[in-house]
Structures are given as C-alpha cells and as structure tokens.
Amino acid sequence: MTVISNHMPTAELQALDAAHHMHPFTNGSELAAKGARVITRARGVTLTDSEGAEILDAMAGLWCVNIGYGREELAEAAARQMKELPYYNTFFQTTHVPAIALADKLAELAPLDLNHVFYAGSGSEANDTNIRLVRTYWAQLGKPEKQVIISRKNAYHGSSVGSASLGGMAAMHGQGGLPIPGIHHIDQPNWWAEGGEMSPEEFGLERARQLEQAIQELGEDKVAAFIAEPVQGAGGVIVPPDSYWPEIQRICDKYEILLIADEVICGFGRTGNWFGAQTYGIRPDIMTIAKGLSSGYAPIGGSLVSDAVAEVLNRGEFFHGYTYSGHPVSCAVALENLRILEEEGIVARAGSETAPYLKQKWEALCDHPLVGEATIVGMMGSIALTPDKARRAPFAAEAGTAGLICREACFANNLVMRHVGDRMVISPPLVITRDEIDTLIDRARAALDQAHARLTDEGLMRAAA
C-alpha cells in the first residue's frame, strides 16, 4: 500500500481526495475538476500548502482557531489526557476530572448566572440539545404547548436536521425536507441589504419588533424561545444596528420567552469581550458554545444554561446526550486553550489593542471603488461589494458572482478571506499582530483591485435594475 503523506505530489493527493473524500458545502464534481488546495501545516496565523505557499488565514480556519495555530501546550494536554483516560462517558452517574474542571471554568468565564454546561461534540449538536432543552423546560413547568422557537432568516445554527431548521439558510432548507415543525423565522437586521430608506436605528427597531409581532401571532402560550447569533457570522458578518438588541431583550423579558444566544462564533473573544452577550449587553438564558472553546484543536461544543433553567430541567430526567458529551480529551484541550487565552491576555489584548487597529484599517477599505460598506466588531468584519455605493445596489449578475471573483483573487494573493454572496468576511485568529494586520489589508486591497479590474473587463460592474 502506498503511504499517503505530505511528500506526495499535490496532483496525486488531489486525485485521491477527489476519488474518496466528499467535502462539506461543496459541489464535488466542480472541485474534482479543479483539485482541492492541500494544507500541510500551520503556525500562528499562517497556513502552508503542499506547493509551499504561505497563506494568511484571515478566517481562523472556520472562525475557530482563536488562539492561532501551532500551540504545543494544547497538543501536550491532549497527549497527557489520552494516556491517562482517553475516553469515558458521563451518562450513567459517572464523571471525570476534565469534564468537571472545564464546567467550573466555563461557569467562571460566562456572564450572569450561566453556571451549568451540557456538553456536545459540536455547535450543531449543542443547538439540537437546545431545541429539546427549551421544550422540555416548558413541559416541566406544565406548559408543554410552548414549543415554537423563533429564529431568523439567514441565521446559521449548524448543519444537523434540528440546527439547520433553526438556521435560516434558504439553500439548506431546500434540501432534505427542512425545516422541522415548530420553528418560525423572522427577518434579519441586515440594514445594508434590506434597510431601504430607513436609518439603521429605525430599521433595527423595526426588525426587533418583528419578534413581538411573531409572538402575538403565534400566541405567547406557544412560544418557547428566541435564538440568534449576537452578530450573524456565516450569514455574512451582519452587525446589527445599536437599537436592535435592547429591543429584543425588552420583548423577551415582556413575554417571558427564553433567549438563546448562539455564541459559537461570538464566544471566546471574537467580538472583543469573552462573549457577544457582553458586547451587546444582553441577558441570555442559554448560550451555545463551540469553535473558539477549543480553538478548533479538538471537537467540542455545549449549551451554557442559567441557574433558573437548570433547576427546572433537573427536576426530571432529560433523555438526551451524546457518546462524546464531555469527551475527556476535548475537555482537556479546551481547558488549556482557555487558560492560555486568559493568562496571556489574548482576549483582553485583542479587544483593546489589535481589534481597534484592525477596525481603523478595515473601515478605510470603504474608499475602494468596489466596497460599499465595511463593518466590524472586535475580530469579525465584512465588506459589501457593490457596483453602486450611493444606492447600496446589488449587482445585476447572479448574487455571489462578484464575491467568488474576489475570493479567487484573495486566494491568488495568499489570503484566506471568505465570500458570503457578495460580502467578503474575515475572522482572523485573535493573536494576529499589527504587522500581520497590515499584510492582511495589503493583500485584501490587491485582491479588491484585481477583482474590480476583472469585473470591469467582463462588464459586471452593473447594478441590478
């Protein structure tokens, strides 16, 4: 048998990949024709591919490598734990030290009285837990008809049947018979695309009040919870107007609807504080966590639950759990990740020093002829590409055409920046330095110039009617 290693020629690796590996969120035949980029190693914010190119990863993998690549301490924590106790479950009245220690640390870091964690293997699993958890909570209180969870269009909450139903991605709902019953979607607070003539503040209020209308239409006695990302990530880093979250909080309080903050991206320093809930001053009853929890070094997610909700849930048995709930190796890695993020002041420094520097540079991209708006919170930002800034107009070409051209230009300039439709998004590791931010911006500008030239050449700098 041939040994498949980093030393194989790229084309052979790509051929084997195409033959046997089915990629997530990918058109397989298109990728097979072109060949996947093979990433071989990484340090800090820099990836190396099989051709030796050094690429600045402005996406921190999939929004998760908050601590940066190559931290030996995390590898050592995993190895230590694997040797001592590689696996044991937490189902049948047993527990273990990594699960205990991480739960204790999370209770300390989390705001408010979110003092309890239900572990999962990923963000999707944690949101599936949340669906059953909030419905079971209301059933325990004698209100089993409170079942409906209100979410938002263009939200991303995961890819399993339950979590993708919570999400509001039309393309995902179009495959496999989603959403499941009992999920209701309201509009997103995306002022650039949908705000029309309203000011951002008016628009934020209008979108938040859709929650109140939905509660009134569905019936207060039918609604269990509202779920939202503090800042929509995969939907294109949609930063809500300042008026949005206070109004959502008022409505959740008034109607006693549980508030679930999906902190899978926003958590662990991404928005400049430990949690997005702190950045926006909201008081969630439940927070979904994953991604930055372990900086992606090991798979783990969870639901952080308030004292009040945990007390009700603990009155009975919750028939729910995953084989890998509280996996000891993942817990040990997450704990080491949190220790470093805290002790080295990575979250604090990103929030007070590097994020403000990035913000200034990022917002300056607005002077580029292709860029309509540039928004950023902490270490997550986006720019809207447009052929007509004054009208905030979309392109006449199919949505995503310009974004894809820009992403390809980023690739060619050794920068990983993702496109969501015709928005470009970044979410770099929190350890990115000022020099690396300068490099990121230089490459982004070069890519924007090239994309602009190509769009102009191909006659695509035209606005939709």
Ligand X SMILES: *Cc1c(COP(=O)(O)O)cnc(C)c1O
Per CB under 6 A, residues contacting ligand X are 122-124, 127, 156-158, 229, 233-234, 262, 264-265, 290-291, 301
Q: Cβ of residue 415: shortest distance to ligand X, in angstroms?
A: 21
CA 327 to chain centre: 22
Nearer of residues 231 and 409 to ligand X, judged by Cβ? 231
Nearer of residues 13 and 430 to ligand X, judged by Cβ? 430
Other beta carbons within 10 Å of 169? 17
Q: Cβ of residue 389: shortest distance to ligand X, in angstroms?
A: 29
Please give the structure tokens belonging to residue 191. 């002022």
The whole-angstrom separation of Cα 259 and Cα 130 is 11
Nearer of residues 143 and 153 to ligand X, judged by Cβ? 153
Q: Cβ of residue 24: shortest distance to ligand X, in angstroms?
A: 9
Tokens 């990836």 — which residue?
47
Residue 115 burial (C-beta neighbours within 10 Å; 0-12, 13-18, 19+): middle
Other beta carbons within 10 Å of 59? 19
The whole-angstrom separation of Cα 216 and Cα 29 is 47
Nearer of residues 156 and 324 to ligand X, judged by Cβ? 156
Angle between helices 434-457 and 401-412 (to 10 degrees): 130
Q: Cβ of residue 76: shortest distance to ligand X, in angstroms?
A: 24
In this structure, the strands spanning 54-57 and 418-420 are: unpaired
Q: Cβ of residue 335: shortest distance to ligand X, in angstroms?
A: 18
Q: Cβ of residue 159: shortest distance to ligand X, in angstroms?
A: 6
Phi and psi dihedrals of 236, rounded to 5?
Answer: 120, 25
Strand order of the β-sheet with 301-305 is: 116-120, 301-305, 286-289, 258-262, 223-228, 148-152, 183-186
Q: Cβ of residue 329: shortest distance to ligand X, in angstroms?
A: 16
The whole-angstrom separation of Cα 32 and Cα 289 is 34
Nearer of residues 124 and 210 to ligand X, judged by Cβ? 124
The SS3 assignment for 117 reads strand
Nearer of residues 260 and 405 to ligand X, judged by Cβ? 260
- At 397, which amino acid appears? A
Give the count of alpha carbons within 13 A of 154, CB side only: 16
Nearer of residues 184 and 291 to ligand X, judged by Cβ? 291
Nearer of residues 127 and 382 to ligand X, judged by Cβ? 127
- At 436, which amino acid appears? E
The whole-angstrom separation of Cα 267 and Cα 180 is 27
Q: Cβ of residue 155: shortest distance to ligand X, in angstroms?
A: 8
The SS3 assignment for 271 reads coil
Determine the residue with CB nearest ligand X: 123
